[in-house]
Amino acid sequence: MDEDQIREAARKRVDANLQFQTHFRTYLLVIAFLAIINITTSPHYLWFLWAAGGWGIGISLQAQRVYGHGQDPGKREAMIEDEIRELSSTGRSRDQ
């Protein structure tokens, strides 16, 4: 695998990581908003848990795909460099 291929593979993995972080933040904000609405309007039935659970399954699957090997999130450029070092040392991409 040449350096351009390694850099492209690293970019894809970092972009997936950053997309997950954005998705997770959105999930937290929306579920918190729904919980507030639910608790103030009908506290006897916690319907927001259905949305949290359903969406949470999707978040969990995405997290497993992105962080399946225990990667630690960080800034994009630093992550790209880390991925390049890792891919360079193994000589192949995990995505292939």
Let me know: does 93 contact 9? Beta carbons within 8 Å. Answer: yes
Domain count, the chain: 1
Range of the domain at 69: 3-90
pLDDT in the model for residue 73: 47
Residue 9 lies inside a defined structural domain of this protein: yes
Choice between 70 and 63, residue whose per-residue pLDDT is larger: 63
Least Cα distance to 13 among 50, 87, 34, 91 occurs for 87
Residue 41 lies inside a defined structural domain of this protein: yes
pLDDT in the model for residue 90: 75
Residue 17 lies inside a defined structural domain of this protein: yes
CA distance 9 to 74: 17
Half-sphere exposure at residue 6, Cβ-oriented, CA atoms within 13 angstroms? 16
Residue 44's pLDDT band (cuts 50, 70, 90):
very high
Residue 96 lies inside a defined structural domain of this protein: no
Rounded to an integer, the average pLDDT of 33-46 is: 97
Task: List C-alpha distances in Å: 89 to 3, 5, 85.
Answer: 11, 14, 6
Q: Tell me if the pTM is above 0.75.
A: no
